[in-house]
Structure 1
């Protein structure tokens, strides 16, 4: 799935997403002309301050996010794992919904979610993956293969998807879900400061690069409604 940022402007208003991204990233100024140019952009400096204040400050990070995910996992009776890292402008984590092991093969169902630090936005998606574990003379290693990405509340992901969505909205007032289709759309000339990629996606700019480019998951089956969440953006 590859698409350029676009929407039905008569029915929906996704301009806030673009305006937020434009505020923090100098769209159209490529980093290969000099990292210094990007670092002098006021939005870039503001983004770095947000990272320091909300993630690098351990007390704030634990108060804003770790306590929330612990409570979430307890209420849903699922193990929660944090995936927030200091260069991506979001809090993130995932729940393990199901896990089965057969020999050296493990099958996982996970529900991932992120809350942006740049604006009132969040994302949710599920994945089904296989992990193969191998013994090696030097050290053990693992190979992961994502088989499916679940983009809306369906089938055995439905209840937990909806529960996480509800709890995020309750905890982070006024935040809206970014539909998968919109999140995976590229913006020409957008380079995210911590990634070595051109024409980055909305998801990369607001959250992280866990989903990569649309064409990087072309061999992965997408299940569900890629427009899920559009109602929250109607005019």
Structure 2
């Protein structure tokens, strides 16, 4: 097993990583989001990039062909793991989502392990990461006591599921590129993603622009930080293992 190291961490902006080839991703994001513009929700809806974004999301949501293609992908995953719950994420966001419930114990607290995966509507990209949650019961309701812990590469209980999802994604969507979680947490100066409540502070992440509303990069995470970077930066070597809380 690879050694997990406790080291300091700083979240980066996209322009602070010249070692990575971001041009393709940045151009995709620029097509659908106005960058460097601060305004309220109503006004931003009138801008051409946001109009393109809304149309693209609507086209995918209401496309029977696209929906069936994603449903078929989820069904194939179910054949690999017939004893696990696999369901789609139906939130309004810039990509199809899916979750495999790997483990769940329920008592005075609910402890769960879920593998989340997303395929973007905006470009040919996808991403995968694990989410550990703990909820406590106060006698009436379950509530979150701690922030989730994110697993960013195939590791421990997530390894088989992570590798299978990535393998099947390559078969069903061969033109799609894997966005490493570490890369997805990079912020873009002046980027506001309209579904993620980031309009006030701006500087949203690649993951929020392409996949999911929530900024998972602000949580503690564990795994190989360089996993999946082979396409984006051939000079980066894998096996840079980490386990740390992010610094804001």
Normalising to structure 1: TM-score of the pair? 0.84
RMSD (Å) for aligned C-alpha atoms: 2.1
Q: Measure how far apart 1:45 and its partner are.
A: 1.5
Alpha-carbon distance in structure 2 between the residues aligned to 1:180 and 1:52: 26
**Quick check: 1:130 aligned with 2:134?**
yes
Output one character per residue of 1:57-90: Cα deviation in whole Å (capped at 9) or x when no partner.
173453132232132123222211221322x110
CA distance, structure 2, for counterparts of residue 127 and residue 44 of structure 1: 30
Q: Where does residue 150 of structure 2 map in the other structure?
A: 149
Q: 2:112 aligns with which of 92, 95, 108?
A: 108
Asked if the contact 1:117/1:206 (under 8 Å) is kept, the reply is: yes
Cα gap change, 1:81/1:133 in structure 2, threshold over 3 Å: closer, same or farther? Answer: farther
Q: Distance in 1 between matches of 2:192 and 2:103?
A: 36
Aligned 8 A contact 2:196 2:214 in 1? no
* Partner residue, 2:74: 69
Among 24, 27, 33, the alignment partner of 1:19 is 27
Identify if the C-alpha distance between structure 1 residues 130 and 8 changes in structure 2 by more than 3 Å, giving closer, same or farther.
closer
The 3 A distance-change label for structure 1 pair 196 and 31 is farther
Residue aligning to 1:4: 13
Note the residue ranges of structure 1 that are not aligned, 5 or more in a row: none
TM-score, normalised by the number of residues in structure 2: 0.80
Deviations 1:3-42 (A, max 9, x none): 2114654x6422111110011111011124x733x33332
Contact 1:84 1:90 in 2 (8 A): no
2:49 pairs with one of 30, 33, 43: 43
CA contact (8 A) 1:53 1:60 kept: no
After the TM superposition, list the runs of 4 or more consecutive aligned residues in structure 1 that deviate by more than 6 angstroms: none
| Number of residues of Structure 1 aligned to a counterpart in Structure 2 | 220
